Amino acid sequence: MTRPAVNTIHTWLRDSADTLADAMIPSARLDAELILAHTLRKGRTWLHAHSEDEIDERELDILDARVAQRLERTPIAYITGKKEFYGRSFAVSPDVLIPRPESEDVITLLLEWHTSHPKATTLVDVGSGSGCLGITAKLELPQLDVTLCDINEHALTVARENSVELLVDVKLLRSDLLSSYPLDADIILANLPYVDRSWDVSPETAHEPDIALFAEDEGLELIYRLIDQTAGKLALNGSLLLESDLRQHDAITNYAKKSDLTLVRSLGLIQLFAKV
């Protein structure tokens, strides 16, 4: 992208959005605004109110580098280091999966379930990554005792950063699924890797950690392992909330029956099971 002699906020946004659009990035204008707002440490509304302000040379060099990252399909969340989830800002890094909007349905279903199970007090977030699910659960239901489990120490570092930033008291545990979790849980949340390598995925996912995305056995290996472990870790009348692909739901439901887990409700990509 050739720089004009004077680069104002307006001209930079226009030219950068055009460059991103030429690369077939559908959210080109929004991405340009997010990159500029992050670099200038301002809100997007501020950009519109100061459209004729000039951008200095040092900031232009940083902006060029970040646009180049986006042209390589690096997700915006990794460029800015932040992603909003359930109305809160979470730190992310290439060590963790970027929180998806559809994962907010886990919290929706959890809150709905908890209204009829108010005595439930113990929750474990398995494969917690950034901690967005478990931390949000704790913020929405402060009475819960919440543990974040992940096999990846780097992911737990990101989750710890988020717990400190959001002033939430949660435990962190390095564990292969539930293998090191010592308690019986009333609630198990899990957004495990469930993508089969044969599926079509967006170019952006190439920048996310394979360990957080892909699983063997048509994407079901880790979900099946967790269901096997759940039989000995879930309290009576407890609930397991799983995120998976819709095409996997029948197989998961049938497999869960072997562990005396009953499907209670599906919400989009989310399945809620109960131990009765």
Q: What is the pLDDT of residues 105-160, one digit of tens each?
A: 999 999 999 999 999 999 999 999 999 999 999 999 999 999 999 999 999 999 99
Q: Please give the domain boundaries of the chain with CATH numbers for all domains.
A: 9-72 (1.10.8.10), 82-275 (3.40.50.150)
Question: 185-237 pLDDT, tens per residue?
Answer: 999 999 999 999 999 888 899 999 999 999 999 999 999 999 999 989 999 99
CA–CA gap between residue 26 and residue 121 (Å, rounded): 43
Over the stretch 39-79, which tens digit does the pLDDT of each residue have? 999 999 999 899 999 999 999 999 999 999 999 999 999 99
